[in-house]
Structures are given as C-alpha cells and as structure tokens.
Chains A and B, each alone.
Chain A
Amino acid sequence: MTTSVTAPLLEVRDLGVDFDIGSGQLHAVRGVSFVLRARDRLGIVGESGCGKSTVVLAMMGLLPPNAEVSGQVLFNGVDILAGGDSSMRPHRWCDISMVFQGAMNAFNPVRTVGDQIAEPIRMHRKASRRDADKRVGELLDMVGIPASRAVRYPHEFSGGMRQRAALAMALACGPKVLLADEPTTALDVIVQAEILQLLRRVSDDLGVALVFISHDLPAVAQVTERVAVMYAGRVVEEAPVSRLLTAPLHPYSAALLAAIPRPETAAAVCSIPGEPPGLDTTVIGCAFAPRCVSVLDNCRITEPPNIFDGEGVIACHLATSAGLPR
C-alpha cells in the first residue's frame, strides 16, 4: 500500500497535545487525524483557541517544552515525532515548512528581506552565498516580487509584499508540505484575494501539499479542496469543501457558515451564542453540546465517535441518529 502512487505523503494519526501549566493541564488538541497526499490542499477552520495552530506547530516540532504530544506524524511513512528534535530536524523546512501567523511582521527590521530568505537556504541546504542569492531571486519572482527588491529592508515593503516574502521564505528549501497559519488575516480584501490566488498557484506549480489554517471559511474555500472544522481541540467534521459549504452535517459547521456575512444576499448573519469550553476542563459528552441548537440528551453524556461516510468524517450524535440527511 505504501508503495502505490497515492500513498499518503503526510499522515497525522490521533494527535493529542496537552500543556502542563503547573496548576493543571490544558487539553489543546484531542485525537486529530488527517491524511495529505501530494498536491492535496486541506483547510483547518475554527474559532480562536480551538487548537488549529497547535496542530501545525506540533507537526513542525515547535511546541514549547511544557507540551506533551501524543500520536504520530508520518512523513512518507516514517514517524517524525518519535525521535524528538533529532528526527524532526532533517524534515523541518526542507520537507515541511510553514508560514507562521503574523510572519509578515516577524522580519528582522535591520536585515534585508533577501538576506532573511537566504538564511534557511544556507542553513539547511548548505548553499554558498552566491547560490543562495540566486535562489532568493527565483523565489521572489515566483511570489510576484521583483528580484531587485531583495536588497530592500522590511519597512520598505507593504504588508502584502511582506506576506509574499514570508511565503517565499517558507518555499526556500523546496518543501513537499506547506503549513500556512492564518496567512491572510489582517490583510486588506484586495491583498487577501491576491495572496489566496498566489497560494493556489504556488501549490499547483510546485506540487506542494498545503494545510491552510484560518477562521475565515470563505478564504479557505477559495484555496483548498477539503476542510476540517475544529472545535475545542477536536476535528468535528472533515469533508470536501463543496459539501461542507453547501450541506454541512455538523451543527457547528452549519453555525460557522451562518456567521459569514454575505453582501449579495441581505440574509441576516447569525452569531453563535456562548463560548467554547475552557481548555482546562475535561469535556464530558460533546464539547459543542452547550451551544448546539440540535442538542440531544445523549450529547451531554457520551462523546460522539468519528463516523466515516465515504466522503468525510463527522463526530456528531445527530449523524448517527436517523433524523439527519446523509
């Protein structure tokens, strides 16, 4: 199976992350699993604190020391989490790289942008300065920045250009998997649309698999083929984007969808009342039950299992009961 062409490039199996905070534990991620094949594009959406950033930081091995990670992250069939930092290091940035949240504001202000993009190339690929500079020119060109701007400083770039540069940096070592954490948040609509187009094009042209994290469902829908909806550390629904946006099965996915303002229709948006549960509480039953409009008695008692229905995964008692369209 692993030798077939469609073998998973990256597989996340039952990933869990707890943070030890002295006074107790925070359960940030619980039982997250997904599979990425080459060129796959997966979106992860959810509210702040649902664990989506923690998932990708765990995949990069970049969580702080008080994080306890369980489960597996298989890259080409090999668990890169198992051996700690030494097993992660050869893959980091070369095979799996990342556009960090707020990356556009994380450039060192006193070094040129080109110099900073060259750094991972020289570190990981052991390239000479000259080769690295040549590669920087190619990378900038690919993300739509004139190569001549490499000698400029971050303050001479607009926000959108810095975000493009952050993407160029993530692509510097030719990764197979790109993790993009909120790459369009805090950008203006026009720049956001340009970055979404760019992400699509880059992943098509380079054949890079993409994990795109955002709380903005429409932005994700513009780029990815599949979407995983996270709530309170768990993936509650994963489905093809077309199904998730037209016929969501999980009440939380439906509520997220109803919260999107749509200027073309005058439909009122509906906020989701209440707050997600605190990460320090042990969830009994379904974590979404207190805010769910379709809650059943069982939802407050037992945690819904993951149900595979051929197209996707859903964790909801409604999906197992007869009432829900399948």
Chain B
Amino acid sequence: MNTPLLELSGLTVRYPVRGAGIFGRSGRPVVHAVEDVSMTLEAGQIVALVGESGCGKSTVARTIVGLQHAASGQVIFEGADLTGLRARALRPYRRAIQLVHQDPYDALDPRMTVGAIVEEGLRIHQVDRGDRDAIVRRSLERVGLTPADSVLDRYPHQLSGGQRQRVAIAAAIALTPRLLVADEPVSMLDVSVRASVLELIDDLRRDGLAVLIITHDLAGAVMLADRIAVMYFGRIVEEGPVGEVMEFPAHPYTRALLSAIPSPDPAVRTKPEVVPGELPDAAHPPRGCAFASRCPVAEPACGISIPMLAAVGSGHRAACFRLTPR
C-alpha cells in the first residue's frame, strides 16, 4: 500500500543539438537536460522543484506529463511505468496528470470562451455531454471564479492575468486529476495576485490533489510546499522537507539561492553567496560537480567526479563533497 503516487527513478532526458553537422548523424552532440533524477511524491503532497532557467526543471515536468521522451529511467505513476506506454495505454494517465503552464497569456486560446476552454479537455476525454456543463461550472467556482456565469462567455483578453491562471487551473481540475504539474504558475503574475493563486493551489490539496510545482521563486515555494527539491544543471542537488532545507541548507547552491532572495528590509543588502558565472555548457558537461565553477567552497576534488545524493538529515539528501569534513 506504500506505493507513492509518483516516482521518478533515474530519469534522464537528452536533446539532440540541431545543426551539428547537416548530414552527420553519428557522434551528434546532445544536450544533457536532465540527468539521473529520482524523487517521489505522495498523494496530497505538494513538492516544489526549484532551480534557475535552464536547469532542467521544466523538462522534468514535460517528461512527467508525456510531452517529452526520457532517454532512460522511469516515470512511475500509481505503480505503472509511463515511459514504456503507447499512446492508447497512456490516455487515462494523461487525464490523471494535468499540466498548468507558466504563461496564462499564451496558454489560453484567444478565440475560445472560458466555458469552451474548460470544456475542451472533457470533450477530448469523452466525458458524457450532459455532465459537462455542470463540471465546467463547478470547476470555475472551485477556483474562485464565482458565479461561473460571470465568466463562462468571456474571452481570455477580457480577464486579468490572475483570472486567466485560474481558468487554466479550472481546465486542469475539471478532469479530476490526481496530480497537478504546475510549471511556474505565478511567475508571470503580479506579487499581489501571486499570493492568491498560491493560496488556491494550497486549497486544492484538500481535494486530495498532489501538486508538483516548478519554480525559480524559492520564497513562494517555501510557503506552499511540503518538500523541496533543488535542481542544478539537470541534477537534483538537494532534496528534503521544506523546514529542514530552509533551516539547514546543506548544498552551497541552495545557500546561494536563499542568499539571493531580496530582503524586504532595506537595511539588509542581499548579496548572493556565489561566484559570478553561468551554468556550464550542457552540450559539454564538466567531468565533476557542475556547480564547482561557481561554488564558494569548491576544492580540486570537486572537479574530478560527480557527487551523489547522500542523507544529511531525516528525509533530507544533498549531493556535495564538501558536506562533511574528510
């Protein structure tokens, strides 16, 4: 009975680099987007996957919902490995796992009414025609767009950003998913609206919905999530319960992320604890720890081999050679 809702096991995703030799198929360089990512998510849990642009967090999301093929590893949902399934067998899982996109301005078809947008998924998944209207209304009201009549016949351009994101969430929950994958659901929204959308996601958990929230906003992730996983350059570098990770950040990258959150106290000047620099080139990954080039505590050994995730506390793991004095 202890099967987690979602388990990623050694998930690896690579993209071929286009234009690398017009004819040459052999020896074509690949971008290592996601490397050996393993994590679990229990029913009703909210897990935040945090990292910078280009760290592979959106690729993880796209692979979970089946928009991207895994090079190796497994996506196990309710005990079934989704990576091996053909389109027909995957269909019920596509309904059970719903994706909310980053940009509510682009994610909604401008020529469809709100009602039609929310109904579209129900139609595709062949929900009985007579039931759809009630489900659409219930979903819209569940996300706080009440009364549903006030928005049903409106078009996306008539709504604010926060309302649009609510419509996108309504379209997702109309299909009664067990898992919601939210890719940067609030990064395009105003600060004042962000809080209300995060509150809504938190509230949906009461319906037993599990949420994987992909974000670069550590502060927002902290207020919502039960667990947090920090990604850097395609790998999870630290993972654990939110309170643990916030109080005892073990990986230098997590500490850098925390130090970079602008303090609302003007007397406290934020200064990121990181060596200025960029992510390494994903087509030519470094041999050792990918963070070593920016790490304030790196030593020569960090450039030789890649550190593996190891327990640093209860349910708390980190991948760094400099965790324990040797």
Contacts and interface: CB of A to CB of B under 8 A. Distances in A.
Interface string A44-62: 0001100000000000000
A273 B278 CA distance: 39
Interface string B219-261: 1101100000000000000000000001000000000111111
B124 interface: no
B270 A188 contact: no
B264 A196 contact: no
A217 B266 contact: no
A189 B160 CA distance: 25
B261 A144 contact: no
Nearest to A50: B190
Interface residues of A, number: 43
B192 interface: yes
A262 interface: yes
A66 interface: no
A245 B218 contact: no
A260 B261 CA distance: 11
B27 interface: no
Interface string B102-120: 0000000000000000000
B195 A269 contact: yes
B274 interface: yes
B238 to A, nearest CB: 15
Contacts of B276: 144, 194
Interface stretch (A71-79, A170-178, A251-259, A316-324): A251-259
Contacts of B274: 190
A179 B42 CA distance: 47
A5 B260 CA distance: 37
Contact of B191 (A222, A256, A264, A268): A256
A83 interface: no
A261 B220 contact: yes
A189 B261 contact: yes
A193 B272 contact: yes
B194 interface: yes
A305 interface: no
Contact of A269 (B223, B260, B269): B223
A160 B217 CA distance: 16
B264 A189 contact: no
B260 A47 contact: no
A124 interface: no
Interface string B30-58: 00000000000000000000001100000
Interface in A184-223: 186, 188-194, 196-197, 215-219, 221-222
B266 A241 contact: yes
Nearest to A242: B266
B199 interface: yes
A271 B195 contact: yes
A180 to B, nearest CB: 15
B216 A189 contact: yes
B25 to A, nearest CB: 25
B128 interface: no
A293 interface: no
B269 A189 contact: no
B18 interface: no
A279 to B, nearest CB: 12
Contact of A242 (B187, B196, B260, B267): B267
B214 to A, nearest CB: 13
Given A221-B263, A221-B266, A190 B53 contact: no
Contact of A221 (B160, B193, B264): B264
B190 A215 contact: yes
B262 interface: yes
A271 B52 contact: no
B260 A190 contact: yes
A261 B223 contact: yes
B271 interface: yes
Most buried by B among A160, A191, A219, A257: A191
Most buried by B among A190, A259, A260: A190
Given A189-B216, A190-B52, A263-B218, A219 B262 contact: yes
7 contacts: A159-B53, A193-B271, A216-B262, A218-B262, A218-B264, A242-B266, A245-B265
Interface of B: 52-53, 160-161, 187, 190-196, 198-199, 216-220, 222-223, 246, 256-267, 269-272, 274, 276, 278-279
Given A159-B53, A217-B264, 20 more contacts: A48-B161, A160-B278, A189-B272, A190-B260, A191-B52, A196-B262, A197-B271, A215-B190, A218-B263, A218-B264, A222-B263, A255-B192, A260-B264, A261-B195, A261-B223, A263-B222, A269-B195, A269-B199, A269-B223, A275-B160
